[in-house]
Amino acid sequence: MGHDIQCAVCGGPTCGVRFAEPREDSDSDSVKSGRSNDSNTGSDDDDSMSEEGYDSAIISEEDARWVERCVLLGFNARSTAIDKTYWTGPASYDDYGCFQADESEDPNFPQDSPNFQCFTICDATQTSCYPIHAPCLRLLARALCGTDNKEDIDKDVLYHVMARRMRYFASCLDLDYGEPESGFDQSWASNRGLEMLVVNPLPPPTFVAFLCETVSATDFTLPTPVVITSRVRHDPFATLPYDVVHAILLLLPANTILAICTASYPVHAFFGPSNRRFWRVALRSSMPWFWELHELMRHGVLDPQTTDYRGLFLWAEQQTRPREGLRGLFMTIANRRRIWGVCEQLAEDYLPGAAVKAGERAWGERAESIWEKSVNVDLPAVVWPKTQEGVRTRTATAQWICDEMSDLRGGVVEVFWDGEGSLVGMVFTVSEGSEASVFGKTGGSSKETVNIESGIAGLVLHLPDIFLHEKVETSIKGITVLTTSGAAHRLGDTSSHYCQRPLIIKPDHALTGMVGHITEAGQITRLGLVQYPLVEDGQDDDNDDNEPPPVIPRPLWKAPTPSTSNTLHTTASPIWSHGTRLRVLPSTTRILDPYHLQSPYHEDIVPTDVLIWAADARELRSVRRLSVYKIDARKIAALRVEFAPESGITARVVGEEAGRRLMNTFDSDGVWLPFEVDGAGGETVVGVDVVHDDEIKAVKIRTNRGREVIWGEEGRNFSRGAHAMEPAGDETIVGLAVGLIYPHYSKEYDVQWSTVSALTMAL
C-alpha cells in the first residue's frame, strides 16, 4: 500500500483495519456486550493480545467494515449544470489516494472517470474529491441542515469549504479531529486502545433499549455541595446577571460548562441540581449529538420532577467522553461526539457561505424558474497561479435576465478592474431603473461602461500568455462583448498579443447571467456564462444537421503572430470565429487515468497555438516540408511548416518564440527534424495519431502515399493505445492545434505536449 486516505469528516480510515490475534488463554466474551456502566474503563491487562491491531473483544472485524465504504464529493468542470459538484455512489479505496466509485444518479456525475483522486492531486488540471463515510455524511447533514439527508446539503458550498481546508500531500482536511489522536503517519495505525475511532457513530437499534435500561436503573442524584461562599475572594461571574451567565453557558460544549462550574463557585451555586430547567436545556444544547437521550427525555422515561438533570448531565458527559481505552456500547456515542466537533468546524464556514449564496438567488419565482432551466456549458479556469492553500473561495452567480427571455435584449454593461488591471466584477442591466445584479465586486480601481443595443452573443476573455510573461501568471485583463447584431465592444486591455478564450452563447439560447469562482479577496478564478434555452428539448431536432462542428473544449487560443498568421487566423478573424466551417478533432477519445496525469499547469491556461498548412487549396499544393524542433529523445519544443519558394508563402512556426524566451540553450540543445511533403504532386496529410500515457508521448503524421513520420518518444507502439484523427467526407486535414508546456527559467518541468488536435475543413 502506498499511503492511506482518511475520511474528510471523521478522520478515520477508508480501508480495512488490522486486528490483533488473541492469545489462546484470552476470554473475549466478557466485555463485548458492554452493558455495564464500568465498561467504559479500559483494562490494564493487555497480555491476552498480540502487540499490533485492534482488540476483537472490543469491536469485531464485521462491525469495523463500515469504514471501507465511502461516498465521494467531487467537482465536474465539464457538467452543464450551474453548480457542478456531485456525489458518487458507494466508493472503495484503491491506492495512492485513488478511489473506485459506483455511478450515482447525480446529474453532474462524470461519466468518463475510471477512478477518483482524493485530496492531493499531482495534475494541475484535475480537481480533488473528498471521501466521506455514509454514517459520517448523515451526521454532517444533521449538523449543517438539521436532517439526515445528504441531498439537503448544498454540496457546492460544502466543496468550497473542504477545498479551503485541504493541504498539499495531506491525507485528510486541516481540521481538529479531536481526541484520542489516531497516530496516523502515511498509513492508518490500528493501535490497541483506540478502537473507538472505528466504531460506527450510528449505533444499532438495540442501543436505545440499552440506554433506556441504563438510565432507568441509574441514580443521578448528587451529594449536597458544601457552601464555600465566604471563601470566594474574587470571581468575575459574580458580577454578571443570571440571565447573561445562563445564555453564555448554553452556547458552550458540555465539557466547558462543567469546567466553568468547577472554576466558579457563583456559577456552581446558581446552576446546581435544583436548577432542573437549565440542565434539561443544557442536555439538548450542549449535547446535540446525543439525540437518543433527548428522545428518552421527550417521552417521559425520566421523571422531570425528580430527576437530577445535573447529575444526568455529568453522567452523560463522562460516559461519552472520547478517550483512549474506551469500550462498551457508549463508544459509538463517544465517536459521534468527536465527529460532531468536526462537523461544527465545517459549519463555521458552510453556514455563512450558504447564506451568501441564498442571498444571490433571491429574485422571485419567475427568475427562479428561468435560472433552474438555464445551463452553463463552460467554466474554465482563468487565473494562474492557482489559489494558495487556505484561501476561501465560493461559487458566485449573477442573474441578469429575470423576467422575459430573449436573445435581442440590450442594456448597459459595466466592468470593474483592480489595481493590477484584472477583472473583479461585471454588471449587465437590461433596462433603466431595474435592480442590477453584480457578479464579483464593484469596488475595483477602475470602471468601464458600454451601451449595447442588442443582446449579448458571447464574451471573449483576453489573458496574457503565461510563457511570454515575466512571471508565470495570468488573469483576465480585457473583455470583448459580442452582440447578436455582430458588433464587438472592447473593454479593458485587449492587446493583440493576449490569448483569447471565447465564451459563446449556444444557438437557440439567450444570456441569463454569469457564474464563476471567486476568492474572498475578489479574485476571479473561474468564469462562465449562464444560458437559457429558447427552444424546448426536442423541438429543434430537425436542426441538428445545422449545428456547427465541435471545437476543443474550453480552448485558450493563442493570438496570431507574424509566424502563424494566415487567412484562418488573423487579428480581425481569429481561429475560433470559423466554427461553422472548421472542425477540431480531439486528440483522444480514450478515458485517461487522472492519477497518471501530472501536468504542472492547468490545461485551461496553456495557450493553444495554430499551425495551418492549408488555409485554402493553393496553400495545400504549396506545402513542402513539416518539421519539429526536438530537444532530446522525445521533447518537442516547436513545429514548422514550409512552402514552395515560388508560392511566396512564408514559413509558419509555433512554439519557437516561447522556447527561445524560456530555454537559454534552445539553439544548442535541439535540432530541426524535417518531413518532406510533395504538395505539388498531390500528397496530403490524411491522419494524425496520438499516443497518450500520463502525457502525450508521441504523434504520428500519415500521408495519402503511405508515408509517415513520428514526432516524440521513439519506440512507441502506435498499434496499441493510439488514437487516430482522420478527416470526414470531403474534408481535409489543414493543420494542427497544439498546446506546448515549457519549463520556466529555473523550473525543472520538461517541455511537453499539452494538446494536439487535427484541424479539418472542406477546401
- Lowest-confidence pick of 74-88, 419-433, 739-753: 739-753
Do residue 134 and residue 6 come from a single domain?
yes
The grid cell for 536 is 424546448
Residue 422 covered by a domain: yes
Segment 221-249 shows an average pLDDT of 73
What pLDDT score does 44 carry? 46
Query: CATH number of the domain that 665 lies in?
Result: 2.100.10.30
What pLDDT score does 267 carry? 84
Contact 702, 560 (CB under 8 A): no
Classify residue 680 by its DSSP letter. Answer: T
- Lowest-confidence pick of 233-247, 249-263, 470-484: 233-247
112-116, 310-314, 515-519, 554-558: which is most confident: 515-519
Provide the residue type at 66 as one letter.
W
Q: Could you check whether the bond before residue 385 is cis, i.e. omega within 30 degrees of 0?
A: yes
What pLDDT score does 590 carry? 55
Do residue 189 and residue 298 come from a single domain?
no
pLDDT band at residue 97 under the 50/70/90 scheme: confident
Neighbours of 556 (CB within 10 A): 25
Contact 165, 31 (CB under 8 A): no
Please check the confidence at residue 356 and state whether its pLDDT lies above 90. yes
Residue with cell 477602475: 446
For residues 170 and 188, give the distance between their C-alpha atoms in angstroms, rounded to a whole number.
13
What pLDDT score does 595 carry? 62
Measured in whole angstroms, the distance separating CA 312 from the mean position of its chain's CA atoms is 44
What pLDDT score does 674 carry? 97
Residue 372 covered by a domain: no
Residue 481 covered by a domain: yes
What pLDDT score does 481 carry? 97
For residues 300 and 283, give the distance between their C-alpha atoms in angstroms, rounded to a whole number.
15
Helices 155-164 and 331-360: crossing angle in degrees, nearest 10, is: 110
The residue with greater pLDDT, 424 or 406, is 424
For residues 225 and 228, give the distance between their C-alpha atoms in angstroms, rounded to a whole number.
9
For residues 631 and 51, give the distance between their C-alpha atoms in angstroms, rounded to a whole number.
56
Q: How many helices (H) and strands (E) does the chain have?
A: 14, 29
Please check the confidence at residue 615 and state whether its pLDDT lies above 50. yes
What pLDDT score does 233 carry? 62
Segment 655-684 shows an average pLDDT of 88
Q: Could you check whether the bond before residue 180 is cis, i.e. omega within 30 degrees of 0?
A: yes
What pLDDT score does 32 carry? 46
pLDDT band at residue 38 under the 50/70/90 scheme: very low
Q: Of all residues in the chain, what percent carry a pLDDT higher than 90?
A: 60
pLDDT band at residue 444 under the 50/70/90 scheme: confident
Segment 156-166 shows an average pLDDT of 97
Helix (H) or strand (E) holding 161: helix 155-164
Please check the confidence at residue 598 and state whether its pLDDT lies above 60. yes
Residue 639 covered by a domain: yes
Do residue 632 and residue 700 come from a single domain?
yes
Please check the confidence at residue 540 and state whether its pLDDT lies above 80. no
Residue with cell 466551417: 581
pLDDT band at residue 666 under the 50/70/90 scheme: confident
Which among 423, 364, 433 is positioned nearest to 399, based on CA atoms? Answer: 364
Residues 6+ apart with CB under 8 A from 62: none
Do residue 446 and residue 351 come from a single domain?
no
What pLDDT score does 120 carry? 85
What pLDDT score does 703 carry? 98
What pLDDT score does 406 carry? 73
Q: What is the mean pLDDT of the chain?
A: 87
Cα–Cα–Cα angle for 395, 147, 366, nearest 5°? Answer: 50
Do residue 49 and residue 172 come from a single domain?
yes
Neighbours of 132 (CB within 10 A): 25
Q: Of all residues in the chain, what percent carry a pLDDT higher than 70?
A: 89
pLDDT band at residue 412 under the 50/70/90 scheme: very high
What pLDDT score does 749 carry? 55
Contact 235, 265 (CB under 8 A): yes
What pLDDT score does 231 carry? 56
Do residue 114 and residue 171 come from a single domain?
yes
* First and final C-alpha spacing in the chain: 56
Classify residue 564 by its DSSP letter. Answer: T
Provide the residue type at 472 as one letter.
V
pLDDT band at residue 678 under the 50/70/90 scheme: very high
Segment 466-486 shows an average pLDDT of 91
For residues 66 and 53, give the distance between their C-alpha atoms in angstroms, rounded to a whole number.
17
Do residue 263 and residue 198 come from a single domain?
no
The partner residues of 752 in beta bridges, in order of sequence, read 741
The partner residues of 643 in beta bridges, in order of sequence, read 623
pLDDT in tens, 517-528: 999 999 999 999
Do residue 31 and residue 160 come from a single domain?
yes
Please check the confidence at residue 232 and state whether its pLDDT lies above 70. no
For residues 215 and 218, give the distance between their C-alpha atoms in angstroms, rounded to a whole number.
5
Classify residue 633 by its DSSP letter. Answer: S
pLDDT in tens, 543-567: 444 444 444 456 899 999 999 999 9
Please check the confidence at residue 451 and state whether its pLDDT lies above 80. yes
Contact 424, 444 (CB under 8 A): yes
- Lowest-confidence pick of 70-79, 215-224, 607-616: 215-224
The residue with greater pLDDT, 50 or 506, is 506
What pLDDT score does 49 carry? 47
Residue 568 covered by a domain: no
Residue 625 covered by a domain: yes
What pLDDT score does 538 carry? 57
What pLDDT score does 219 carry? 78
Rounded to the nearest 10 degrees, how much is the dihedral formed by the CA atoms of 684, 688, 689, 692?
160
The grid cell for 29 is 466474551
Do residue 56 and residue 170 come from a single domain?
yes
93-97, 336-340, 484-488: which is most confident: 336-340
What pLDDT score does 549 carry? 45
The grid cell for 112 is 468518463
For residues 739 and 719, give the distance between their C-alpha atoms in angstroms, rounded to a whole number.
24
What pLDDT score does 551 carry? 44
Residue 169 covered by a domain: yes
Segment 680-686 shows an average pLDDT of 97
Classify residue 749 by its DSSP letter. Answer: P
Which among 5, 189, 190, 185 is positioned nearest to 94, based on CA atoms? Answer: 5
Q: Could you check whether the bond before residue 464 is cis, i.e. omega within 30 degrees of 0?
A: no
The residue with greater pLDDT, 207 or 221, is 207
The partner residues of 396 in beta bridges, in order of sequence, read 516
- Lowest-confidence pick of 7-16, 337-346, 672-681, 708-717: 708-717
Which residue, 531, 546, 561, sits at the end of a domain?
A: 546
For residues 502 and 60, give the distance between their C-alpha atoms in angstroms, rounded to a whole number.
58
What pLDDT score does 99 carry? 94
Residues 6+ apart with CB under 8 A from 343: 9, 139, 140, 142, 143, 144
Contact 576, 500 (CB under 8 A): yes
Q: How many domains in the chain?
A: 4
Please check the confidence at residue 27 and state whether its pLDDT lies above 70. no
Segment 638-652 shows an average pLDDT of 97
For residues 418 and 441, give the distance between their C-alpha atoms in angstroms, rounded to a whole number.
10
Contact 434, 627 (CB under 8 A): no
Do residue 534 and residue 586 come from a single domain?
no
Domain hosting residue 23, numbered range: 1-203+334-360
Segment 620-634 shows an average pLDDT of 90
Residue 456 covered by a domain: yes
Measured in whole angstroms, the distance separating CA 97 from the mean position of its chain's CA atoms is 15
97-101, 119-123, 359-363, 662-666: which is most confident: 97-101
pLDDT in tens, 249-283: 998 988 898 888 888 878 887 788 778 889 999 99
Contact 558, 495 (CB under 8 A): no
What pLDDT score does 55 carry? 95
Do residue 354 and residue 471 come from a single domain?
no
Segment 680-702 shows an average pLDDT of 90
Q: What is the pTM of this model?
A: 0.89
For residues 329 and 214, give the distance between their C-alpha atoms in angstroms, rounded to a whole number.
11
Q: Torsions phi, psi of 515, nearest 5?
A: -140, 150
The residue with greater pLDDT, 44 or 348, is 348
The grid cell for 48 is 491476552
Do residue 226 and residue 294 come from a single domain?
yes
What pLDDT score does 237 carry? 82
Segment 427-452 shows an average pLDDT of 86
Please check the confidence at residue 330 and state whether its pLDDT lies above 60. yes
